[in-house]
Amino acid sequence: MTTYNFSSGPAVLPRDVLLQVQQELTDWHGSGMSVMEMSHRGPEFTQIITEAEADLRAVLAIPANYKVLFLQGGAHFQFGMIPLNLTQPGDTVDYVNTGSWSKTAIKEAQRYANVNIVASSEDRNFSYVPDEAGWQRSANAKYLHYCSNETIGGVEFPFIPQSDVPLICDMSSNILSQPLDVSRYGLIYAGAQKNIGPSGMTIAIIREDLIGHARAEVPTMLNYKTHADASSLYNTPPSFAIYVAGLVFKWLQKNGGLDAMARHNATKAALVYDAIDGSGGFYRAPVSGACRSRMNVPFWLKDAALDAEFLQGAEAAGLVQLKGHRSVGGMRASIYNAMPLEGVQALVAYMADFARRHG
Ligand SMILES: *Cc1c(COP(=O)(O)O)cnc(C)c1O
């Protein structure tokens, strides 16, 4: 039986990539070494990281005036690095609050800067993206921060905000899911473990003019300039994670790039939302309309007493890690790039069958 993994992260990776990793695990390209065992300054790893960056630049069409940084510390580190690198004490920054991850980013930024919340969807339990026309921008913000896909709430921005100040985005859970105009942003960051590769690595794509303005007391490792100047090799990088991510970038290219991913993801998301909306109320989604996430689909059963049985039956059918986040309850199907169409088809067939048996 095939297992389909709906985890929100660390999440499913392309099977072809895992098989290649397995094949190369003890002997990378005839070197006699595993990537785990190589000097990060040797010729083999130099080739791996150079190709990974070049392939990511190609896939995302990253303009030449942006640096690509392979960092550690997860997206959480970025919550602090951003204000420490882009503000001085007393500065004001603008944040949009659309859910759990926005809130965590805001809380950390408040330790270093005056945070103005331009808009919040907390009034309706983070089930929508506030209309951009009503955002209350500050006159002197150093940047505008938002989270393009709230992994827990299942809310995704259907637009890129307009901004005269550098636009900063936490793209941890929807980067590489569709084509992107990188030039609209000052800084994009994403933890790898959703749509890129293994945990332990965070990618930052930063416009060059935003590098070199960190506060004097910022630790060396938390200064973007340190990593930009050293091409992500200031210290030992997460080498194995970079290697696997590089294979994922090649997999994306081989499978039609981000245009093909956008179609693939739209098809999968439509299948799941149609299954929910067409269930006659047996299943319900907390999010409606254009800001439904294509990556993370939270949904509730009409009777929460059936949750345990739903999960048990799903697991028996090879559909794993469907339990929703504790703050939302119910189920959550995360259907990132690497989730095959067959996995989503198996999920909606199971949902229909379960509803029939309990409706
Ligand atoms: C998972 C996630 C995070 C947290 O990532 P860590 O790597 O665990 O720090 C932050 N933001 C979003 C949108 C996420 O999905």
Instruction: Name the strand (E) or helix (H) holding 350.
Output: helix 341-358
pLDDT > 90? residue 38:
yes
Mutation test of ligand 1: which of 78, 100, 173, 295 has the most ligand atoms closer than 8 Å to its C-beta? 173
Q: How far is the CA of 353 from the centre of ligand 1 (A)?
A: 33
Give the three-class secondary structure for 117: strand
Closest CA to 102 of 149, 167, 166: 149
**Phi, then psi, of 33 in degrees rounded to 5:** -125, 150
Please tell me the predicted confidence (pLDDT) of residue 332: 98
Any residues with Cβ below 6 Å from ligand 1, and which?
9, 74-76, 101, 147, 151, 170, 172-173, 191, 194
Consult the annotation and say whether 127 binds a ligand: no
Domain boundaries, the chain: 15-254, 257-358
Q: How far is the CA of 49 from the centre of ligand 1 (A)?
A: 23
pLDDT > 90? residue 288:
no
pLDDT > 90? residue 1:
no
In terms of CATH architecture, what is 15-254? 3-Layer(aba) Sandwich (3.40)
> Sorting pLDDT into bands at 50, 70 and 90, what band is 308?
very high
Consult the annotation and say whether 41 binds a ligand: yes
- Taking residues 337-352, what's their average pLDDT? 98
Share of residues in the chain with pLDDT > 70 (%): 100
Please tell me the predicted confidence (pLDDT) of residue 6: 98
Write out the two tokens for 197. Answer: 């590769």
CA distance 301 to 199: 31
Peptide bond into 10 cis (omega under 30): yes
Handedness of CA 44, 47, 48, 49 (dihedral sign): positive
pLDDT of 155-205, one tens digit each?
999 999 999 999 999 999 999 999 999 999 999 999 999 999 999 999 999
Minimum-distance ligand 1 atom for the alpha carbon of 173: 15
CA distance 262 to 325: 25
CB 254: neighbour CB atoms within 10 A? 11
pLDDT of 227-275, one tens digit each?
999 999 999 999 999 999 999 999 999 999 999 999 999 999 999 999 9
- Taking residues 341-356, what's their average pLDDT? 98
Enumerate the active-site residues: 101, 170, 194
Please tell me the predicted confidence (pLDDT) of residue 148: 98
Please tell me the predicted confidence (pLDDT) of residue 359: 82
pLDDT of 160-174, one tens digit each?
999 999 999 999 999
Indicate the class that CATH gives domain 257-358: alpha beta
- Taking residues 70-88, what's their average pLDDT? 98
